[in-house]
Amino acid sequence: MEALVVDAGSKLLKAGAAVPDQSPAMIIPSQMKRMVDDGPSTVSEDVTLDPIERGFIRDWDAMEDLLRYVVYTGLGWEEGNEGNILFTDPLSTPKAIREQLVQLMFETFNVSGFYASEQAVLSLYAVGRISGCTLDIGHGKIDIAPVLEGAVQHIASKRFELGGTELTKLLAQELGKSNPSMSLSMSDIEKLKEQYANCAEDEIAYEKTQNCEIEQHTLPDGQVISIGKERYSVGEALFQPSILGLEEHGIVEQLVRIISTVSSENHRQLLENTVLCGGTTSMTGFESRFQKEASLCSSAIRPTLVKPPEYMQEDVGLYSAWVGGAILAKVVFPQNQHVTKADYDETGPSVVHRKCF
């Protein structure tokens, strides 16, 4: 039985058997719907639950329900015959969360073996690297992590609590100015962002979008939304955070500054092995804008993007940590480097810190 690999994000959960040259068998929303009944005098209704916030598990009951659906219903495990499982860890995952996850796996799901590894390391594995710097722009966070010889340099790494959620809110605000009568849910705005959001070539091109062509988008309920320059503000906010009211440098400068805090002899291999991952990096024009901004850096501090191998899917950046997890699972489980049930029974949940790097 192939090990399962699970990469659970704030918006999407990616899961499947550890087959590195394939995409995950399941890519599903992380949100859970649960019926709530307050008694005979009230009407039962669906409540939306978010098990994961900013990349970290916050609602363990909802997470258990989600994982139960994934491994048994979605991926075909049979109760009493569970196998090995590998989870991806977001940057700087608290020890308590790692311990609670390994406890859930052994005590509730009765897995044969467990392993967890950091997403930055796994995203590099996906493109055949063990050293480099990852820029991961997810639904609820941006992580920039230098990695040397398969080890995240935590002192240099940085997390920003800014991601797709904030960009969706920005689009809602901007569209509200030009469409004052619109009535849209954040889910509707999210879909508009995915369809229309764009990155201008550079700051000068962004300024010119003030006069860009206006498109009319008709919603299922008949509302017509005008979308013009607003679509560009979403991408521009990553390069000019002042658009969001933040006193931060743009992401290219942030990445260069972070790499500069690592020992100088490692700068070159980090800069030359920069990897983009996370759903937001698939935005139209994002990669070109990143490269344009990078080209403005002096040659000594210029980041260079690593492209995925040609045999991989074009959208691998959306699930590169999962691919890296599938690669790693092919090593750690056959070579018995994982946490076994015997390890867990002997040491308890803290064993995860000793055996999972």
Considering the domain architecture, whether residues 265 and 346 belong to the same structural domain is answered as: no
Considering the domain architecture, whether residues 289 and 343 belong to the same structural domain is answered as: no
Considering the domain architecture, whether residues 197 and 279 belong to the same structural domain is answered as: no
CATH code for position 68: 3.30.420.40
Which one-letter DSSP state was computed for residue 212? Answer: P
CATH code for position 186: 3.90.640.10
β-bridge pairing 84-89 and 274-277: unpaired
| Domain enclosing residue 95, as ranges | 4-124+314-355
Indicate the residue type of 146: P
How far is 336 from 343, CA to CA, in rounded Å?
A: 11
- Residue 111: other Cβ atoms inside 10 A: 24
Looking at 225, 242, 259, which one is the last position of a domain? 242
What string of DSSP letters covers 1-62?
-PPEEEEE-SSEEEEEES-TTS--SEEEES-EEEEE---TTS--EEEEE-SEETTEE--HHH
Q: Is 134 part of a structural domain of the chain?
A: yes
Considering the domain architecture, whether residues 216 and 233 belong to the same structural domain is answered as: yes
By C-alpha distance, which of 353, 203, 220 is closest to 293? Answer: 203
Q: Which residue has the tokens 């399941």?
A: 26
Considering the domain architecture, whether residues 26 and 103 belong to the same structural domain is answered as: yes
Q: What's the whole-model pTM score? A: 0.93
Kindly state the tokens that stand for 325: 């997890």
By C-alpha distance, which of 279, 283, 331, 301 is closest to 122? Answer: 331
How far is 293 from 242, CA to CA, in rounded Å?
A: 17
Considering the domain architecture, whether residues 152 and 194 belong to the same structural domain is answered as: no
- Would you give per-residue pLDDT tens digits along the chain (357 residues)? 789 999 999 999 999 999 988 899 999 999 887 655 555 444 445 678 899 999 999 999 999 999 999 999 999 999 999 999 999 999 999 999 999 999 999 999 999 999 999 999 999 999 999 999 999 999 989 999 999 999 999 999 999 988 999 999 999 999 999 998 888 889 899 999 999 999 999 999 999 998 898 999 998 888 899 999 999 999 999 999 999 999 999 999 999 999 999 999 999 999 999 999 999 999 999 999 999 999 999 988 999 999 888 878 778 889 999 999 999 999 999 999 999 999 999 999 999 999 997
What string of DSSP letters covers 50-73?
-SEETTEE--HHHHHHHHHIIIII
Query: Residue 115's beta-bridge partner residues?
Result: 86
* pLDDT of the residue at 280: 93
Considering the domain architecture, whether residues 197 and 285 belong to the same structural domain is answered as: no
Considering the domain architecture, whether residues 135 and 265 belong to the same structural domain is answered as: yes
Considering the domain architecture, whether residues 269 and 149 belong to the same structural domain is answered as: yes
* pLDDT of the residue at 36: 55
What string of DSSP letters covers 248-300?
---HHHHHHHHHHTS-GGGHHHHHTTEEEESGGGGSBTHHHHHHHHHHTS-GG
Q: Is 70 part of a structural domain of the chain?
A: yes
How far is 107 from 339, CA to CA, in rounded Å?
A: 13
Q: Is 309 part of a structural domain of the chain?
A: no
Contact 250, 238 (CB under 8 A): yes
Q: Is 306 part of a structural domain of the chain?
A: no
Number of domains into which the chain is organized: 3
Q: Is 308 part of a structural domain of the chain?
A: no
* pLDDT of the residue at 307: 86
Q: Which residue has the tokens 């594995």?
A: 125
